[in-house]
Structure 1
Amino acid sequence: MAPDLVHALKTEAARLGFAACGVARADATPLAGERLRAWLAGGCHGDMIWMESRADQRAAPTGLWPEVRSVIALGMSYAPAEDPLRLAEAPEAGRISVYAQGADYHDLIRRKLKELARWLVAAAGGDLKVFVDTAPVMEKPLAEAAGLGWQGKHTNLVSREHGSWLFLGAIFTTLDLPPDQGGAARCGSCNSCQTACPTDAFPAPYRLDARRCISYLTIEHKGPIPHALRPAIGNRIYGCDDCLAVCPWNKFAESAAANLAFAPRAELTAPLLADLLALDDTGFRQVFAGSPIKRIGRDRMMRNCLIAAGNSGRTELAGAVLPHLDDPSPVVRGAAVWALAQLDAKAFGNERANRSDAEPDDQVRSEWLEKPPYSAAFASSSSR
């Protein structure tokens, strides 16, 4: 009965739009917790304090729910129709990570997981819980254990069929289901994802230092972006696809464009920095309604856009930067100071003479006192 149940489960998962489905025992990732704790001890999580506070729950499925017996790992493809790196030579536009150009994937996947969970309860009973990536669950090791693929050298899941483009979710169940064969690493000697990283965020294969990762810096990090890393961010304003986009296994992935839920919104595929810098809080909420970008808030997005403007070399953007020198948020004001210094040295000098002494925030005041340009600082600090 159990093998037939798993076959029917996978059929139903495919019907609901999941591109991959597999089963792992709840105790199938014994080394994941040890690796997590070593990563946290090294401070590689930056200021993502919630990862520390819930490490015991994250380390193993039973730490989160002692009754779990099996984990159903699921993947939904979001393989892009266009090259995610195509805007590298368009500094006037902001680059948004592929996954965030459409609707918030959390909502869709959670809804589909619940549908599959209801089907499973009706078919076999048992208790269960569903998780997307907002819960303390290590989806990637579990997905590897369930045979969906393997964790690549960029630490993300790689699939032979879907490349590096899978959204992951999980169903924990008290049912004792027969597990699938785990995934086997197939990266070989390839290190394309490592060398593609603009900020050298990989100290070693299979290890990511979030403190240097552009996705972390533009999404999770709340404060000023370190000076040494700003030039390498380029025009990336939300996330970074570089390590994913260069993965050779992507050549086997079919575009998920037919999945309308993940279809990119035209206004988010290549938004102009000048337009984004003109957004107030109301405008930000309107533009990014229904998008995962909305959760970082207007201030962080303005910070990111200002860094991108400073990197653009487009002096005409100085006019869009100037109003942000009066922004209520210190993190926005500080980024505006830096951007102006990169774009218009004369305007920077004039504004510094009028503003630096009166600036109430120490961090912003230090931005005024730095000597532009800052690109040399990154060159000396980078290992490449």
Structure 2
Amino acid sequence: MSITPEERNIKAKQYVEDLYSNISHLTIDDFSSHPLFEQADSILQNVVHAKITAKGFRGIVLTAIVGKHLNSSYDFLNKFYDCSPRAIFENGIFLALRDLKIPCGKSDPLNVAKNTNVLSMEWAEGKRPQRAAEAVVNYLKLLDKNFSQTEDYSFLINLFMFRLKELADIHAQSTVSVGIVDIASSQELALNLWKFISTAVEGGTIPQFFIGILLEAIYLHDQKVIVEGTRESVSGTNTTSKKPGDLVLLRDRKAFSILEVTLKKIDNKRLSDSYDVLHALNHLDTPITFICRIPEDTQALKEIANLNKSSGFIKNPHTFNFIDIQSFICSQITLLDAVQLEYLLAQLRTFINAYDRPINTRNIWNECFPETPSDI
């Protein structure tokens, strides 16, 4: 008897929780004597403990494992999308990982395997990091090869889950300094925040989130203004996302300003794509502003840009405004009152302390805001 999508997603969530329960009491010694350990673990090091951009690759492996559990005939190497990966991950696997505090994103596997059915070395080529993508293929091949060997297959699944738990434990043990409370000058605070934001970029997540909460702080006393996009996953501005920009300011539910936050090069294609989205979503009458580094991110627009050191605009064919992100941060933080500043810092502390914040991001935070030794 077939099951409904809702029932399938519940089974997916429960299976991940069961896998975690199976290995929660184990140590590495429980795995190291198995004949497949050295081969499997050497592959997993490039999947589980790779940098932040590898989250999607971990998600692919887990989605394949769960898909195979739901349907034993599922061919994850050649027909990856046959398991409805978006549905079972976002509405099942992700919920389990979140509850277990295992670092993940809401759409991890789709970020690196979008519209891909065949997971092969050809697919892995050019992915970032490529070694993580290649490791995914190698581990899936190892799973596929040992599927009929029940004990070996269970070992491979449990080892993968054990390494995910290990990753969660590492994140849980990571501490974040509270040195930020010792900074008295608003400009010193702003410059340290800029150092953090520009170093711990996380593919754009950090700048977008920070500008979002800064805007929330700016409009904290204006109950009619809402900032949309602050806590959404960073994604390209396109018609499928139904977002005119990274951040949207609304007053009485009507957009009055659209913001793109980036620390990447802006060229004519980027403006053209943005124009197409604004047109498709009927936002050509809403001002749009790029908050970026000037001139670093606007060099490609230099010949046609009316830009000075901190701001400017271009009409090509729409009017695009530009503000230097560092200047924006420094000037706006200076204007915040005590309540607004505390709101900003509270939101930032919660964000940095989140269980899935990358260790590298926390380390950069601690470098920018070190604990001040107490006087003896």
TM-score, reference length from structure 1: 0.29
Judging by fraction of residues, say which structure has more helix: 2
